[in-house]
C-alpha cells in the first residue's frame, strides 16, 4: 500500500495518491492532472477512482479532467448533485482498491455533501481517514460556505458538523492517521496547525473542537465565533467544481500567448483587461505599467488573487518574470481565473525598451520612515489583518486591512501624503498598486513593513496575544 500526500503550499491544500496492487485512487486532485497520471504510469498502475470530499470553494479540483483522461469514475458522498456523471456514494459504501478498502463516511457540516473517506488496510483494520474540510489539524471546517437551503444557518450546519465528528470520526481508534484537505493558511478554517498529517488520538488531545466534554452548544458557539467573511471567489469555484470547467490545456494555450508591448497595450485597451504584475514587490516599486495591479508570485498569490480580483471571468493580462509564464497561468487556473489573455513578451524590460509610460511607487526604508514619521502624527495606514493590528501596532496607525481595502477608500487623505505598511512589505505594495490604479497617488510605501519598522525603534502598543482577543 502506498499513500502519498501531494501538498501545495500556496493553496495550503493536500491531494492524495493511494495505490494498492496496481490500482490507484486520487483524492481531491489539483487542476493540473498530468503528475497523477504519470505517477501511476511509472508504477504500471491504473487510476481506478477519483474521490472528492466535497464541492471545494477555495480551488478548482482536477476531477473532471482526470476522469476524462483516465476513464476513472468520480465519487462524491451523499447529497452531491454534480452536473456531470459521478458515483454518489451511500453512507458506509465501500470501494475496493487492490487489497485495501475505502469506505465513505457521510460527515455533513462544512457542506451538506461533505464526506470523509476511511481507508482500511489489507487486514480490514482502520488505517487512515481523508477528512477533507470536515476535520483539520487543530480545527474543523467553517460551517458558512455551503451551497445550502435558505432555511439553514451557519449554526444549523455547525450542529450537523458536531454530530458528524462525534458519531463518525471520534469513535475511531486513536492510531488512525488523519489526512486533511488543508493546512495553516487556508481560508476554510481559522486555527489550523502547520503540520499536515497527525493521528486522531493527538487531535483528540490538541484540537479544541474535539474536546470530549464539549457540548453541542459550546461547539456551535466556538466554531462560528470570529469567522471572517469568505473570499468572494469561493461561490464561483464551487460552481465550477459542480458544473465543470474548460480543460486546462486550453487555458494554458490562450493564457500564454506572447504579446509584444504594442500588442499588449492594444489588448488592454480593447478588452478592458486587468494588467496583473506578478514580479517581486521590489521590482514593481521601481517600475511598472501604469494602473497595473501587483500580486507577487512569491507570496500567497492565488488566495490574494481570489480575494482581491474576485470575479473569475475578469480578463487578465500578465507581466511575469521571464520563465514564470506557465507557472503563473497555472496558479491562476487553480483558483478558477481562466480568462488570461496573454503575457508581455520579454517582461517589463521590453515595455521600458519600447518607450512606453512607466509608473513607480515612492518608498522609504524603515529607518527613513522612523525619521519621517516619529513625533509628527502623519497619516500612517497598517494594511495587515485586524487580528495582527489588534495584537500590536504603531502608535497613531490606522488599520485598513488589505482584504477590505475598498471599504476604507474614503479614509485615505486626498491631498496629504500618507504612508502604508504591512508585516514584511508584500501586502502594502499590493495595497499601493490598487490605490494607484484608482487614481490615488499621494502615498509612500514602507519597505520591510512592521518587522523592520519595529526594529528601527518606532513606538508600538503593548502586545496582546491574538488567542486572548
Helix (H) or strand (E) holding 74: strand 74-76
Instruction: Answer yes or no: same fold for 2-235 and 246-353.
Output: no
| Residue 302 cell numbers, joined | 492565488
- Cβ atoms within 10 Å, residue 141: 32
Do residues 233 and 306 touch, judged by C-beta distance below 8 A?
yes
Confidence of residue 466 (pLDDT cuts 50, 70, 90): low
At 214-226, the pLDDT tens digits run 999 999 999 999 8
Angle CA(161)–CA(165)–CA(166) in degrees, nearest 5?
A: 115
Q: Domain coordinates of the chain in residue numbers?
A: 2-235, 246-353, 363-468
Checking if the pLDDT of 468 tops 60, the result is no
| Reported pTM | 0.89
Over range 447-458, report the average pLDDT. Answer: 93
Confidence of residue 147 (pLDDT cuts 50, 70, 90): low
Q: Using alpha carbons, list the distances in angstroms from residue 202 to 132, 214, 226, 235, 436.
A: 18, 17, 25, 33, 48
| Residue 50 cell numbers, joined | 477519483
Residue 417 Ramachandran class (φ > 0 left, ψ -120 to 50 alpha, else beta) = beta
Do residues 164 and 107 touch, judged by C-beta distance below 8 A?
yes
Reported residue count of the chain is 469
Q: Taking all residues of the chain, what is their mean pLDDT, rounded to a whole number? A: 94
What fold does the segment set 363-468 form as a domain? Oxidized Rhodanese; domain 1 (3.40.250)
Secondary structure (3-state) at 452: helix
Checking if the pLDDT of 241 tops 90, the result is yes
Secondary structure (3-state) at 198: strand
Secondary structure (3-state) at 182: strand
| CATH 3.90.320.10 is the classification of domain 246-353 | no
Top CATH class of 2-235 equals alpha beta
CA dihedral 90, 94, 95, 100 (to 10 degrees): 160
- Cβ atoms within 10 Å, residue 326: 13
Amino acid at each position: 500500500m502506498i499513500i502519498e500526500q501531494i501538498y501545495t503550499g500556496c493553496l495550503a491544500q493536500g491531494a492524495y495518491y493511494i495505490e494498492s496492487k496496481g490500482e490507484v485512487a486520487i483524492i481531491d486532485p489539483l487542476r493540473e492532472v498530468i503528475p497523477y497520471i504519470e505517477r501511476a504510469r511509472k508504477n504500471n498502475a491504473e487510476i481506478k477512482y477519483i474521490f472528492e470530499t466535497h464541492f471545494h470553494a477555495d480551488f478548482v479540483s482536477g476531477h473532471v479532467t482526470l476522469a476524462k483522461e483516465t476513464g476513472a469514475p468520480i465519487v462524491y458522498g451523499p447529497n452531491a448533485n454534480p452536473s456531470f456523471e459521478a458515483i454518489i456514494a451511500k453512507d458506509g459504501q465501500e470501494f475496493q482498491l487492490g487489497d485495501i478498502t475505502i469506505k465513505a463516511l457521510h460527515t455533513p457540516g462544512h457542506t451538506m455533501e461533505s464526506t470523509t473517506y476511511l481507508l482500511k488496510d489489507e487486514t480490514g483494520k482502520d488505517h487512515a481517514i481523508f477528512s477533507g474540510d470536515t476535520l483539520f489539524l487543530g480545527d474543523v471546517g467553517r460551517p458558512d460556505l455551503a451551497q445550502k437551503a435558505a432555511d439553514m444557518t451557519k449554526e444549523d450546519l455547525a450542529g450537523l458538523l458536531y454530530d458528524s465528528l462525534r458519531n463518525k470520526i471520534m469513535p475511531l481508534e486513536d492510531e488512525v492517521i488523519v489526512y486533511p484537505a488543508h493546512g495553516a493558511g487556508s481560508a476554510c478554517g481559522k486555527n489550523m496547525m502547520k503540520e499536515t498529517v497527525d493521528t486522531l488520538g493527538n487531535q483528540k488531545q490538541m484540537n479544541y473542537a474535539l474536546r470530549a466534554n464539549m457540548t453541542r452548544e459550546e461547539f456551535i458557539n466556538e466554531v462560528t465565533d470570529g469567522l471572517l467573511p469568505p473570499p468572494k471567489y469561493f461561490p464561483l469555484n464551487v460552481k465550477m467544481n459542480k458544473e465543470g470547467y474548460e480543460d486546462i490545456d486550453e487555458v494554458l494555450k490562450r493564457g500564454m500567448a506572447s504579446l509584444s508591448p504594442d500588442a499588449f497595450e492594444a489588448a488592454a485597451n480593447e478588452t478592458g483587461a486587468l494588467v496583473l504584475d506578478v514580479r517581486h514587490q521590489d521590482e514593481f516599486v521601481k517600475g511598472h505599467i501604469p494602473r497595473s495591479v501587483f500580486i507577487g508570485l512569491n507570496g500567497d498569490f492565488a488566495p490574494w488573487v481570489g480575494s482581491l480580483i474576485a470575479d473569475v471571468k475578469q480578463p487578465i493580462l500578465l507581466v511575469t518574470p521571464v520563465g514564470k509564464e506557465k507557472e503563473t497561468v497555472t496558479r491562476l487556473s487553480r483558483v478558477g481565473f481562466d480568462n488570461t489573455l496573454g503575457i508581455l513578451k520579454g517582461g517589463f524590460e521590453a515595455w521600458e525598451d519600447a518607450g512606453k509610460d512607466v509608473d513607480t511607487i515612492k518608498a522609504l526604508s524603515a529607518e527613513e520612515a522612523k525619521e519621517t514619521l516619529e513625533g509628527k502624527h502623519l497619516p500612517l495606514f497598517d494594511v495587515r489583518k485586524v487580528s495582527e493590528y489588534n495584537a500590536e501596532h504603531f502608535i497613531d496607525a490606522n488599520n485598513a486591512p488589505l482584504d477590505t481595502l475598498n471599504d476604507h477608500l474614503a479614509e485615505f487623505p486626498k491631498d496629504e501624503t500618507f504612508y502604508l505598511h504591512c508585516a514584511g512589505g508584500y501586502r502594502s505594495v499590493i495595497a499601493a498598486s490598487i490605490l494607484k490604479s484608482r487614481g490615488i497617488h499621494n502615498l509612500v510605501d514602507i519597505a520591510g513593513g512592521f518587522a523592520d519598522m519595529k526594529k528601527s525603534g518606532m513606538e508600538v502598543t503593548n502586545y496582546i496575544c491574538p488567542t486572548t482577543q
